[in-house]
């Protein structure tokens, strides 16, 4: 990801702002805060991984590990916040849907008690379809990395 110094355009988001950008709620909301967001460029978010997460009951008893698909979902949610904030759509109800996931690599297990740092940047951005590169790190070591594509969609009509 990008190791540029923070710019004046950097934004932080608390959980309320994250929830304004995403429709996800417990137990599927996988972002606790945004440490840095540069619109149209990149985001750094954090997931505090707790032993109280429901998935640890069965994945795996005696050796709790955060499922890889949830690590990818956390990266996708960070990308969703980046896209919604970059396009000025927070609070609009717009949804960000996965279209593809490419080149996923799981490098290190994610266990309870860690802060999972989620770094995502735009590779390509259009009005409704965006491509991202993401990595999740633990103390600077890559746990998960991938590229993925998502589309901005209207919420379902009632």
Instruction: Pick left, alpha or beta for residue 54 (phi over 0 → left; psi -120 to 50 → alpha; otherwise beta).
Output: alpha
Are 2 and 32 in contact by the 8 Å Cβ rule? The answer is no
Are 84 and 90 in contact by the 8 Å Cβ rule? The answer is yes
Are 77 and 31 in contact by the 8 Å Cβ rule? The answer is yes
> Residues near 62 by Cβ (< 8 Å), separated by ≥ 6?
none
Residue carrying structure tokens 């355009």: 9
Of 33, 59, 125, 131, which one is the catalytic site residue? 59
Residue carrying structure tokens 């996800």: 24
Q: Is residue 24 flagged as an active site residue?
A: no
Tell me the β-bridge partners of 44.
Answer: 36, 119
Cα separation values, 147 from 12, 32, 63, 68, Å:
24, 22, 28, 14
Q: Which positions are annotated as active-site residues?
A: 59
């Amino acid at each position: 990801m990008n190791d540029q110094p923070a710019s004046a355009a950097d934004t932080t988001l608390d959980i309320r702002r994250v929830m304004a950008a995403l429709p996800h709620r417990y137990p599927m909301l996988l972002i606790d805060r945004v440490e840095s967001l540069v619109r149209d460029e990149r985001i750094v978010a954090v997931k505090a991984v707790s032993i109280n997460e429901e998935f640890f009951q069965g994945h795996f008893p005696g050796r709790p590990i955060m499922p890889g698909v949830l690590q990818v979902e956390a990266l996708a949610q960070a990308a969703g916040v980046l896209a919604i904030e970059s396009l000025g759509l927070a609070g609009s109800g717009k949804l960000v849907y996965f279209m593809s996931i490419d080149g996923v690599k799981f490098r290190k297990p994610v266990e309870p008690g860690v802060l999972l740092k989620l770094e995502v940047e735009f590779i390509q951005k259009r009005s409704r379809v965006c491509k991202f590169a993401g990595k999740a790190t633990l103390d600077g070591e890559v746990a998960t990395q991938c590229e993925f594509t998502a589309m901005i969609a209207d919420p379902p009509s009632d």
